[in-house]
Structure 1
């Protein structure tokens, strides 16, 4: 199986290539492209969340906690309910703690390393979560971000399989076949994974637009407060 640096490097390369391809083919703005590249890189480490033996992965779960806190803060800002700063702060802190500590420890406790967390259905689960949770009104942007997460996740599985093959020694490691899989030896874990995937897929279809490929990719817009002139218009 690949190590931490290999997974980060491979996923990072795929992320840059994915963002570049989306920019060339679809005209994706560089702001969205940079986030897509970041998501591919981060998702390249998601399968190892069930491992409790890596110092780097502890730092990675901290990064996930920060991203969750920022997402919650942004979601509260975009809501129609006016929320005081103190509740923003506590919501962000709770989100960070839950993801930083509870999520990883729960996965490490409930799952076996290279079990169903290292599987293709789990890639779909994370992709659905990205689609449903990404804070954008654009279906195409959310879809691109979801694909970025799935791509990064699958890159981890593919690299694990590749590292299980020793071409020079012409032998196959016993871990071969334990990453790119659709099920595990645990029937219960497999059933729970597919049930969660089915639930999330149903949720995605519930919000899926009638014409998913219609419209154009948006351009990031900075909304200035009333009475504040856009600096881009000052020289006009």
Structure 2
């Protein structure tokens, strides 16, 4: 972005949200047209792409808007934990459901952002392609769906949003009018950083999560196609579920 003849080294919050959400909607539309992904799943993929577009800035401890984003991330994490407990074969009391969701929200909303801000340097390895793959792997592993293809779609949505952030930061490092490149150019779309320990730690986490993804990966990844959402109406359709919307 260019302001009054000077170069701003990165996109702002609105630019990142707008760009990531645009790509997310385009991704969802393409998935529906080309692969038959249901609009409900497509809408979630678009949302995850938007969230992914803000993930690189989790290493920043000075952004006011980031506090709102970490709150949204905390809500999504709390909902995911609630859903996971619901799907567990163990019957859990409502009170434990509630406290698990609340504690997850607090840990993500306050703990995750502050921990990352202390352990990372802004535009270090958190702004890198390996980290994009890490978040994609986390999404694939953690998304509450039995369908392999659906988890892949959601993981790719997060990676797309994350990469949109990096691309926008690189684009804003170039002053096309003044025909010059800001010193921040090349610090977003990268595979390594100046810190050897951060680089090694990032690749170690990626290798661990990659191994976990391989464990989940089915022998025939394209079998079954994309699922259709199923709605149960208790007391109305006792004979079985109602497919679609």
TM range (shorter): over 0.9
The root-mean-square deviation of aligned C-alpha atoms, in Å, is 1.2
The runs of 4+ residues in structure 1 deviating greater than 4 Å are: none
State the shift of 1:223 in Å.
2.5
Structure 1 CA distance for aligned equivalents of residues 100 and 11 of structure 2: 36
State the shift of 1:222 in Å.
1.4
Q: Describe the SS at the equivalent of 1:195.
A: helix
Q: Residue 2 of structure 1: which of 1, 8, 11 is its match? A: 11
Q: Residue 122 of structure 2: which of 93, 101, 113 is its match? A: 113
Q: Residue 229 of structure 1: which of 211, 227, 237 is its match? A: 237
What residue is the counterpart of 2:33 in the other structure? 24
State the shift of 1:224 in Å.
3.4
State the shift of 1:216 in Å.
1.4
Establish whether residue 131 from structure 1 lines up as the match of residue 140 from structure 2: yes
State the shift of 1:141 in Å.
0.3
State the shift of 1:121 in Å.
0.2
State the shift of 1:27 in Å.
0.5
Unaligned runs of 5+ in 2: 1-9
State the shift of 1:35 in Å.
0.1
Structure 1 residues 1-236: aligned runs within 5 Å? 1-225=10-234, 227-229=235-237
Q: Could you tell me the TM-score, scaled by structure 2's length?
A: 0.92
Encode CA deviations 1:176-230: one digit per residue, 9 max, x unaligned. Answer: 00000001000000000000000000000011000111211111111334x4437
Instruction: Count matched residues.
Output: 231
Structure 2 CA distance for aligned equivalents of residues 87 and 137 of structure 1: 25
| Structure with greater helix share of residues | 1
Unaligned runs of 5+ in 1: none
Q: Could you tell me the TM-score, scaled by structure 1's length?
A: 0.96
